[in-house]
Structure 1
Amino acid sequence: MAILAFLLGLSIGLIGFWWYRSRSEARLKKVLLNFQNTLPAPSLTSSSQLTIAIAQQQKVQQQLHQQIKTYETVLENAPIGYLQVDDENRLIWCNHQAKILLGIQQEPCPAKPRLLLELVRSYELDDLIEKTRDAAKPRDSSWTFHPVSSDPSQLSEQQPRALQGYGIPLSNKQVGIFLENRQEAANLLQRYDRWASDLAHELKTPLTSIRLVAETLQVRLDSPLKEWVDRLINETVRLSTLVQDLLDLSRLQRDNLQDFDLKPVDLVLLIESVWSSLEPLARKKELHLDYRGPESLLLPLNEARIHRLLVNLLDNAIKYSPPHQPIQVEVSLQSLAEEGHLDHLNQADAPPPINHATDSNPEPPTCLCLDVIDFGPGFADKDLPYVFDRFYRADPSRARRRTEPDLSGTSSDGMAQSIGTQRFSTHRTTTEKAWSTDQNDGYSAADLPHQGGSGLGLAIVRQIVVSHGGRVTARNHPQTGGAWIQVRLPWTSTTALTK
């Protein structure tokens, strides 16, 4: 009886062992499937194969650890700063250059990370981190960082510095920030601006003297010599205008750091005033203004600066527009979402309709949009990033052949005009000279592309827009083929009136 019990127990044990071994073999084969690309010779047992595969994985893991250390060494000794924060904006790690740029005294502890704002008082940096995390795509920003230290002995070393930050979204809502010290470039730009301003001041007086002498000789010389004096006066006037533009640009940049007076200005009336002053130039080419927008728009602006902005934009549009074409000026109020859609407009798409501020608009306006569009040759793609740089002038032909726009279905004036347009239109008369390639009236299609200015007009426009807290962009209009200047100003007044 005991033998039977022993044999029964042995059988049960063997069955259990066999079942356990089968399960182990199945699990082992399942594990080996993950290493099928690195498995040794199949003639070995599963246990031997697993042992060799584990050894190989340990080797790979060591190599990965070595690569991580290499990357950490590269980041630590990189000439630009790098810092990394978690989902709660706590500093996880930063390299040596970031500590220097941000004035971080304490070594960040990965075990007990601290809030970044406790170590670095830079709300611009914190805002860049939040924008990068919310957008889930890279973001960049520029600002002037003012280091703060509790050590009185370091007060002389706490100089403000210009920084450029590049945010990169990481996993688990972490964010990495690359920091670049742009102070040297800012210093070079300041020295360049100061040199240009000083040079303009030095040239202003002798140019005025030369012009006075030339004008004195102009009335005393005979006709053959008088033509040379006329040319001298014209060139002197051109140089004087260039010098004055340099002085104005330097003044704008200097005053941009200070508060300037804002007062309620009717933007529509200001556009009308500027167009009236430029209308004689437009009449020579039979151009008219196609205004689209409200009849009245009162908002706080610096009237002198916005007047200069409109003069530069409309003068450029007149200069490069072919005859018998309108110059479009569109004014509207848009919400943040609509303004963002306009910024990302595809050149191949039709422009969005102008949305004026009405009670039916569910979102309050946050942006004043001013668009100036012409039918000229437009900008070359290679010139678009630089058109607002001082002294930059595009290729004389603007490098892009303009295709004639399709004006089918438009009014006899070329474009349909909305409220308030009629008082801006330049009415043609029978006494005005019609444009024709057969008539010698001082203009020709070949001469148009070669007209140009000093290369400071759009630079002054950008500086005026920046001084108002806005931004300006340039592109080519998808329908007209001409230049499309977009001015965006923040809507800061709740008392602005539209009619």
Structure 2
Amino acid sequence: MIQFIFGLVIGLGFFFWKQRQINKQLNNVLHSLSNFEQIPSLSKISQVRRSVNLLNEDYNLLLAERDLFKHILNTVPFGYLRIDADNHLIECNTQAKKILSIQRWNPKKSRFFLELVRSYELDQLIQQARKTGYKLSIKWDFFPTSNYILDDTNVNDDIESYEPIFLKAIALPVINDQVIIIIENRQVIKDLSHKRDQAYTDLSHELRTPLTSMSLLAQTLIKHNDNKNKMWAEQIYQEINRLINLVENWLKIAQLDGNPYTNLQWQKLDLQQLIISAWQSLAILAEQEQISLEYQGLENILIGADLNCLTQVFVNLFDNSIKHTDCDGLITVNVTQSKENKSQIIIDVIDNGNGFNPKDLPHIFERLYRGDKSRARTSREGSGLGLSIVKQIINAHGGSIKAQNHPTTQGAWFQISLPKNISMTEN
């Protein structure tokens, strides 16, 4: 009897100890499920069962949202990719596969992005976005390739190339050094733009001959008319020549677009002398407005360039500054070597005029674009091609140009960068 009572006590003790452990575990589970509202009237097991059911419902809802998100990504008209910190492609929608010719990609098998998409430009964009932590974008001609995967370790070396596609890519750095890439196919826009430009070019070719004939006729009228009629003939002659200049400018842009490097007549030039010469061609206009030029920076700089084209660059820039600078104004040209890249020469053209309207800045170099006319100090109107020609010529020389308002003078600030492979300093 005593043994039975002793065993019963031990059994009851073990039962209550076990029950306490279970209650403790249930309390821990309920604490971890504290996001769900608890009902004290229910037993702890019922409360846990209810919370688990709610958790399961949330899980199923998340799965449904994930499937919806994947469906949306696969139907949107742009490409979507996600690259991990080791440059493996871990997510890719249908449109990205189509645009970038990604074939036989398997998200369960880890493969490097460059193994699937052979684009140096896109790879550099990913690296820069990850390094800087900022959203970056590029536009470039992508050459699709056929990169069929033969097996788990080999990539087919027989790569078939296709026609280039003009793309725009946006890189968004996210958590854990991952990068999201958004790809937009802009080939249709580029084709339409090319057709539009070709139409303008064809029209310009057709207009050049009759305009030249009209100019000669106007000259003849000037010679054979009295003073009263001569005034009208001279005005007609000026307007015809303005149209001729517009046609020639457009044809020059079209020529630089076609094959810019071979269309240039390369020779060794003194940069400072070229700039001064360009200014002297506008000396009459500058003297009328009492505007002066100041040259600063490096001297005896020899560059390999096209004399006529590069002269036109500075003539157009100076003419733009004269139009927007008040009397007794100053235009400064400062030539320096890039601090970030020793192989670059920087040319700053700065005036103290009324600067650019902020809304015009993104369109400054677009063809036929004219900014706010109320900001021009003179009544002389341009063709809307001057700054576009400047950009085309600078690009053809392997350089770049950007426009902004100078923080000190509040006037226009053009910054030209030319690579050192076409520039040399002579001691």
Q: TM-score, normalised by structure 1?
A: 0.77
- 8 Å contact from structure 2 (residues 144, 161) kept in 1: no
- Give the Cα separation in 2 of the matches to 1:237 and 1:286: 27
The alpha-carbon deviation at position 79 of structure 1 amounts to 1.7
In structure 2, relative to structure 1, the CA distance for the partners of 1:202 and 1:305 (3 Å cut) is same
- Where does structure 1 lack aligned partners over 5 or more consecutive residues? 337-363, 399-446
Quick check: 1:185 aligned with 2:189? yes
Where does residue 490 of structure 1 map in the other structure?
419
Where does residue 472 of structure 1 map in the other structure?
401
- 8 Å contact from structure 2 (residues 165, 187) kept in 1: yes
- Give the Cα separation in 2 of the matches to 1:243 and 1:481: 34
The alpha-carbon deviation at position 41 of structure 1 amounts to 2.1
Q: RMSD between aligned alpha carbons?
A: 2.8
The alpha-carbon deviation at position 490 of structure 1 amounts to 3.1
- Give the Cα separation in 2 of the matches to 1:322 and 1:371: 20
- Give the Cα separation in 2 of the matches to 1:36 and 1:56: 12
- 8 Å contact from structure 1 (residues 142, 164) kept in 2: yes
The alpha-carbon deviation at position 377 of structure 1 amounts to 1.9
Where does residue 151 of structure 2 map in the other structure?
none
- Give the Cα separation in 1 of the matches to 2:390 and 2:252: 11
Cα deviation, 1:235-263, whole Å, max 9, x if unaligned, reads: 11111111111111111111237585654
Cα deviation, 1:161-195, whole Å, max 9, x if unaligned, reads: 11111222233333222221111111111112211
In structure 2, relative to structure 1, the CA distance for the partners of 1:56 and 1:309 (3 Å cut) is same
Where does residue 131 of structure 2 map in the other structure?
134
- 8 Å contact from structure 2 (residues 130, 177) kept in 1: yes
The alpha-carbon deviation at position 64 of structure 1 amounts to 0.6
Q: 1:452 aligns with which of 342, 356, 381?
A: 381
- 8 Å contact from structure 2 (residues 145, 161) kept in 1: no
The alpha-carbon deviation at position 468 of structure 1 amounts to 2.7
After superposing the two structures, state which structure 1 stretch, 30-39 or 127-136, moved more. Answer: 30-39
The alpha-carbon deviation at position 449 of structure 1 amounts to 4.6
Q: 2:141 aligns with which of 140, 144, 148?
A: 144
Where does residue 37 of structure 2 map in the other structure?
39
- Give the Cα separation in 2 of the matches to 1:144 and 1:285: 46
- Where does structure 2 lack aligned partners over 5 or more consecutive residues? 149-157
Where does residue 368 of structure 1 map in the other structure?
345
- 8 Å contact from structure 1 (residues 375, 482) kept in 2: yes
In structure 2, relative to structure 1, the CA distance for the partners of 1:5 and 1:367 (3 Å cut) is farther
Pairwise mapping of residues 72-111 of structure 1 onto structure 2 (< 5 A)? Answer: 72-106=70-104, 108-111=105-108
Q: 2:336 aligns with which of 332, 336, 359?
A: 332
The alpha-carbon deviation at position 384 of structure 1 amounts to 1.2
The alpha-carbon deviation at position 214 of structure 1 amounts to 1.1
Quick check: 1:385 aligned with 2:384? no
Aligned to 1:141, what secondary structure does the other structure show?
strand
Amino acid across the alignment from 1:376: G
- 8 Å contact from structure 1 (residues 312, 457) kept in 2: yes
- 8 Å contact from structure 1 (residues 328, 373) kept in 2: yes
- Give the Cα separation in 2 of the matches to 1:449 and 1:372: 20
In structure 2, relative to structure 1, the CA distance for the partners of 1:16 and 1:136 (3 Å cut) is farther
The alpha-carbon deviation at position 104 of structure 1 amounts to 2.5
Aligned to 2:415, what secondary structure does the other structure show?
strand
Where does residue 394 of structure 1 map in the other structure?
371
Pairwise mapping of residues 284-303 of structure 1 onto structure 2 (< 5 A)? Answer: 284-303=288-307
Amino acid across the alignment from 2:53: A
Q: TM-score, normalised by structure 2?
A: 0.89
- Give the Cα separation in 2 of the matches to 1:100 and 1:6: 80
Amino acid across the alignment from 2:73: L
Pick the structure with more strand per residue: 2
Where does residue 62 of structure 2 map in the other structure?
64
Aligned to 2:374, what secondary structure does the other structure show?
coil
Amino acid across the alignment from 1:172: N
In structure 2, relative to structure 1, the CA distance for the partners of 1:26 and 1:470 (3 Å cut) is farther
Which gives a bigger RCO, structure 1 or 2 (Cα 8 Å, sep 6+)? 1
The alpha-carbon deviation at position 289 of structure 1 amounts to 0.8
Amino acid across the alignment from 1:3: I
- Give the Cα separation in 2 of the matches to 1:329 and 1:15: 96
After superposing the two structures, state which structure 1 stretch, 289-298 or 183-192, moved more. Answer: 289-298
